[in-house]
Structure 1
Amino acid sequence: MAPISYYLVLAIIMFFIGILGVLIRRNALIVFMSLELMFNAANLVFVAFSRQYQALNGQISVFFVMTVAAAEVAIGLALMVTIFRTKHSIDVDQMNNLKG
């Protein structure tokens, strides 16, 4: 069995990569994937602590977070496809023009 510190370090690295992707990249799809990476890092922490303390609360929380994330992916990708059809780009800087 690996110690919990390994899981926490991996989650921190994943979360940091997600933050860099959100802050540096301008492509909406890359930003969207970076957000999902940050969600998965949080899920890894929930599962690691759930395993450490032999409680199912963390794993149940991960199940609900993944369910909401799946719905978010479906809606987010549908919005990106719609924006791409109208603007012919999914650049984050150009989405500022969508304000009404």
Structure 2
Amino acid sequence: MVASVAPEAYLVLGAMIFTLGAVGLLIRRNALVMFMCVELMLNAVNLTFVVMARELHDLGGQVAVFFVLVVAAAEVVVGLGIIVSIFRRRPGATADDLSVLKG
């Protein structure tokens, strides 16, 4: 006998993870932590896409997850490179200090 978890539980988990990421994005001022919160929010959306694709027996949600993962990977490459270069230049930089870096 295989026990199955209701899709509502996954949707609630996705909503909680998304809320955690949104609160972290709004509260924290460290650019690296904000970046990780955005990634957390993307993963919560991916979880929701997979659950709904499974419930509706449609591959569209899983295809959307693939594209979100591709965009997230590109975001990691570009965003993390920018954040690391900012932290090398100003070790204690916060999100409020980024407007000073305009050149």
**Which interval holds the TM-score relative to the shorter structure?**
over 0.9
Question: 2:51 is aligned with what amino acid?
Answer: A
Question: 2:92 is aligned with what amino acid?
Answer: S
1:6 to 9, 13, 17: 9
- Matched pairs, number: 100
Counterpart position of 1:89? 92
Question: 1:71 is aligned with what amino acid?
Answer: A
Which TM-score applies when normalising by structure 1?
0.94
> Deviations 1:1-42 (Å, cap 9, x if unpaired)?
211110110011001100111011111111000000111111
By how many angstroms is 1:93 displaced?
1.5
Unaligned runs of 5+ in 2: none
TM superposition outliers: structure 1 runs of 4+ over 3 Å? none
By how many angstroms is 1:68 displaced?
0.9
Q: Is the 8 A contact 1:29 1:90 kept in 2?
A: no
Counterpart position of 1:57? 60
Q: Is the 8 A contact 1:46 1:59 kept in 2?
A: yes
1:34 to 32, 37, 58: 37
Unaligned runs of 5+ in 1: none
Q: Any idea what SS the aligned residue of 2:12 has?
A: helix
Identity of aligned residues (%): 49
Once residues 71 and 90 of structure 1 are traced to their aligned partners in structure 2, the CA distance between those partners, rounded to angstroms, is 23
Once residues 32 and 90 of structure 2 are traced to their aligned partners in structure 1, the CA distance between those partners, rounded to angstroms, is 15
